[in-house]
């Protein structure tokens, strides 16, 4: 029987380790949290970030019925949504603001 040459053994080991390394890399998940609300057919949270200074505030990018919305701040303590132009709007009853605050509790 023929034995494996040292050079072939090194190549085979490097190939095996390369395959194992390539398969072990974890890619970030792109899962969206989507829900159906009363007045909107589909509400998806595209991106959500918690404020470092105010733990009750979240910066959220939404997709309402397939249309991306601008980034807005949601204040779960005072139940307010701050739009990009600075306008403060109270949460609607069982609306998007309530959904966000329930999900992050």
Q: Name the token pair of 32.
A: 């969206």
Tell me the average pLDDT across 76-83.
94
Instruction: Single out the residue of 76, 85, 105 nearest to residue 95, CA to CA.
Output: 76
Backbone angles phi, psi at 61, to 5 degrees: -110, 125
**Alpha helices in the chain, H assignment, sequence order:** 6-24, 96-104
**pLDDT tens digits, 39-66:** 667 888 899 999 999 999 999 999 988 8
- Range with the lowest mean pLDDT among 18-22, 30-34, 99-103? 30-34
Spell out where the chain has E strands: 33-35, 43-50, 57-64, 67-68, 72-75, 80-82, 88-90
Per-residue confidence at 28, pLDDT binned at 50, 70, 90? Answer: low
Tell me the average pLDDT across 82-94.
91
pTM score above 0.75: no
């Amino acid at each position: 029987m023929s034995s494996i040459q040292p050079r072939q053994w090194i190549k085979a080991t490097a190939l095996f380790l390369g395959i194992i390394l390539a398969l072990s890399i974890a890619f970030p998940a792109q899962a969206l949290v989507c829900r159906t609300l009363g007045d909107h057919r589909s509400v998806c949270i595209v991106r959500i970030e918690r404020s470092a200074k105010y733990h009750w505030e979240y910066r959220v990018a939404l997709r309402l019925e397939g249309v991306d919305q601008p980034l807005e701040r949601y204040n779960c303590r005072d139940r307010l949504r701050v739009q990009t132009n600075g306008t403060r709007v109270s949460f609607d009853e069982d609306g998007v603001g309530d959904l966000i605050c329930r999900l992050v509790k």
